[in-house]
Structure 1
């Protein structure tokens, strides 16, 4: 659901507003509150961040963040997972991770929830690609499909045991089945 403001506000004004729970995104002058993540969504988000960070954090290659606000190109969005190459991560004066990420992610991952607007989610992925993101995933747990978005190409459909493309900076092998098997309890 969009909150249309009259008169419209700017991105800078939006960023001064208090945060909401769940977070709100600023897209084309409108404010959209994200839906509250549910079980499957949360599990996939957690496992994806974990899998990526397991191979990328210690060697300082990249880092995956869940629900991180990224503000760029006159939008402020909150991808389900944002992956940044290490050299692009903003740090503050104390050498800690910055609170504000005013840059596009290198890889954006969205996990579709039943009540989400698919077009809005795809538009966010396309916005990221337009501004420099090199890889986008749209994970659909109901259909057991992952759509992969690459700059200047049509989306690609991945199912079953197909190997998923990951950022060229990562050494990570995942199939669609492996991702969706995370929805089952271990043992």
Structure 2
């Protein structure tokens, strides 16, 4: 028996950006379109709460903003991290000072939450790509073993769990959040 694999023709980044948005979002990586999985419950809770906590700490002082599911196009790719954090001075704005609709720069901090059907290595490759393009911090949150893998330029990844404090961006030290506290958000008892 012969199996036939359908070959998806490569398209350009510009062609990809002209396509209608999909739900869940699709990303453009190395000439291919990859659709993100639909987020399950744990993913959704962590994404919503973490974005809110980051914004509660940094938005009043206009230091940074956490964007959920924001398309960021840079380095020949178009990715949609679960949470993209931009320091205030790097948030793309229009000439009128309003938030731009297109973000054509790398985030300062990317946060990905691993879903059960996702490949950890595929998500790690996305975080490493962002780090290589100028992102200063990446978190890979794994709800299954309640750990967070931390990525920073020129450092080996490290894993935080339990009472260990999760490092924010170096310029945003006001956030004091442990892995245990973050994963406690999943308990609805």
Same-fold call, TM > 0.5? Answer: yes
Tell me which residue corresponds to 1:35: 37
1:152 equivalenced with 2:147 (yes/no): no
TM-score normalised over the length of structure 1: 0.94
Query: Which whole-Å CA distance do the structure 1 matches of 2:55 and 2:19 have between them?
Result: 31
Structure 1 residue 4 displacement after superposition: 5.3
Distance 1:99 1:4, change over 3 A: farther
- Paired with 1:97 and 1:28, the residues of 2 have a C-alpha distance of 28
Pick from 136, 139, 143: which aligns with 1:141? 143
Kindly indicate whether residue 80 of structure 2 is the aligned counterpart of residue 83 of structure 1: no
What is the root-mean-square deviation of aligned Cα atoms in Å? 1.3
Q: Please list the CA deviations of residues 128-187 of structure 1 after superposition, one character each: whole Å capped at 9, or x if unmatched.
A: 00000000000000011100001111110111101111112221001000110011127x
Partner Cα distance (1:32, 1:4) in 2? 14
- Does residue 123 (structure 1) correspond to residue 125 (structure 2)? The answer is yes
| Larger Cα-atom Rg | 2
Correspondences of 1:52-71 after superposition (within 5 Å):
52-71=54-73
Structure 1 stretches lacking a partner, 5+ long: none
Distance 1:87 1:147 in 2: 27
Shift, 1:95, TM fit? 2.4
Q: Count the aligned residue pairs.
A: 183
Identify unmatched segments of 5+ residues in structure 2.
Answer: 1-5
* TM-score, normalised via structure 2 length: 0.93
